[in-house]
Amino acid sequence: RPLVISDIRVDDESPGIKDYEASFLQLIDAISSGSSISINETGTKLRYRPGAIEGGLELQHECPLSRGIGYYLEPLILVAIFGKNPTEITFTGVTDCSKDICADTLRNATSRLLWHFGVEQKVIVKVFSRGIRPKGGGKVSVHIPIVKKLKPICLLDPGKVKRFRGVSYVCRCSPQFANRMVSSARGLLNRFIPDVYVHTDHCKGKAGGLSSGFGISLSAESINGITLAAQCIPTETTLPEDVGKKCAKLLIEQIAQGGCVDTDHQGMMLFLMALSPEDVSRLRIGKLSKQAIEILRLLQTFFGVTFMIKPDAKDKTIVLSCVGSGFQNFT
């Protein structure tokens, strides 16, 4: 059904939609047919009439440097899996920034979430070159499969962590920075289990984009198939050792919360639960993020799906359950 959003940032110094939001609308329009987008002169009112999701191959999208590629790819996955055809698209812009999920987290954690909902084909993320803010210059190719319908989930036991994996990367910097991040991260993670492997990626020349920088992405895999992730990309002058240690601490905190999904992916899991068949889905999480709370409200408004929130005082977690909307792909 048509969507109208009005009074967009009317009280801000720069009212209206931002450049990255307009870019996302162009991206959705590129994979759709019959859609209509109308924005007034001040950018404070948007009219959108959705069309059929077509997908497509060899698509290109240039992302503004104000946000990372993860800002566009995470919601694109939710839309494109219900397309008529698989989607294969190449993004250019910022691949790693502190605001959004980085390319390595998308590849090692985000793409695995769909497996819990019965999507057997993997979302394939390939990084050709990295792009750090402010100039970017990264290039990422993504292949998104299609699915007829999802399956309900019951993820209540995260299980014990069996291994840690990750990627430490540097762009136009000394390769020793990557090794220093790995050493500090391993110093914490090896206290728990010995199976820790963090790959180092030294990007130079065109592969390193147009700006210098470094960062690290870590993930924890459990015996029950749960993957939790954390990332750290410094925004100011910081020692590589501090970056590696901070990322390891963030990952340990996610594990300690006892949830089956990390904080950054709560919204995506809730969205997929709402699109599941008309059966009960259950998910255990640690702390409910502000973004997840807003998504719960939006899901109730647009899909009529209401979640039951039940705190578990025993392990200080929260169990979310809902009956899906029964959304199916009829294309």
> Using one digit for the tens of pLDDT, what is the confidence trace for 111-163?
889 999 999 889 999 999 999 988 999 999 999 999 999 999 999 999 999 99
Strands 154-155 and 161-171, bridge-based pairing: unpaired
Instruction: Count Cβ neighbours within 10 Å for each residue of 147-159 and write b for 16 or more, e otherwise.
Output: bebbebbebeebe
Q: What are the tens digits of pLDDT across the range 299-322? A: 999 999 999 999 998 889 999 999
* Band of residue 205 on the pLDDT scale cut at 50, 70, 90: confident
pLDDT value at 331 more than 80: no
Average pLDDT of the chain to the nearest whole number? 93
CB atoms within 10 A of CB 294: 11
- Phi and psi angles of residue 77, each rounded to the nearest 5 degrees, phi first: -60, -45
Do residues 320 and 307 lie in contact, with contact meaning Cβ atoms separated by under 8 Å? Answer: yes
Query: What is the rounded distance in angstroms from the CA atom of residue 171 to the CA atom of residue 60?
Result: 24
pTM for this predicted structure: 0.93
Distances from the Cα of 218 to the Cα of 23, 53, 236, 325, angstroms: 29, 33, 20, 34
| Element holding 91 (H helix, E strand) | strand 87-93
What is the structure's pLDDT at 199?
95
- DSSP alpha helix (H) spans, the chain: 19-30, 69-80, 103-108, 176-189, 240-256, 266-274, 290-303
pLDDT tens digits, one per residue of 70-87: 999 999 999 999 999 999
Confidence check: pLDDT of 37 > 80:
yes
What average pLDDT score do residues 236-257 get?
94
Whether 193 shows a pLDDT value over 90: the answer reads yes
Pull the structure tokens for residue 205: 């020349």
Token representation of residue 26:
């162009």
Burial class (CB in 10 A: 0-12, 13-18, 19+), 132: buried
Does the pLDDT of residue 101 top 90, yes or no?
Answer: yes
